[in-house]
């Protein structure tokens, strides 16, 4: 194992980075889904 991976701080930094990447992907999918949804009928007045 490389020397830089033997440090506990390196694993914490990798974990936090992966957490942010996953959160970004999830947020991107949710926002994209909301923007692609058809407009609701509640806002239209007859």
- DSSP one-letter string for the chain: --GGGSSHHHHHHHHHHHHHHHHHHHHHHHHHHHHHSPPPGGG---
Residue 42 is predicted with a pLDDT of: 72
Distance CA 9, CA 20 (A): 17
The pLDDT > 90 percentage for the chain reads 54
**pTM of the entire structure?**
0.69
* Token digits of residue 12: 């914490």
Residue 4 is predicted with a pLDDT of: 75
Distance CA 2, CA 15 (A): 17
What lies within 8 Å, CB to CB, of 11 at 6+ separation is: 5
The pLDDT > 70 percentage for the chain reads 91
Given a cut of 60, is residue 39 above it in pLDDT? yes
Residue 30 is predicted with a pLDDT of: 97
């Amino acid at each position: 194992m490389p020397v830089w991976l033997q440090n506990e701080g390196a694993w914490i930094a990798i974990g936090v980075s992966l957490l942010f990447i996953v959160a970004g992907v999830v947020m991107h999918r949710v926002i994209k889904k909301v923007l692609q949804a058809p407009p609701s009928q509640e806002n239209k007045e007859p």
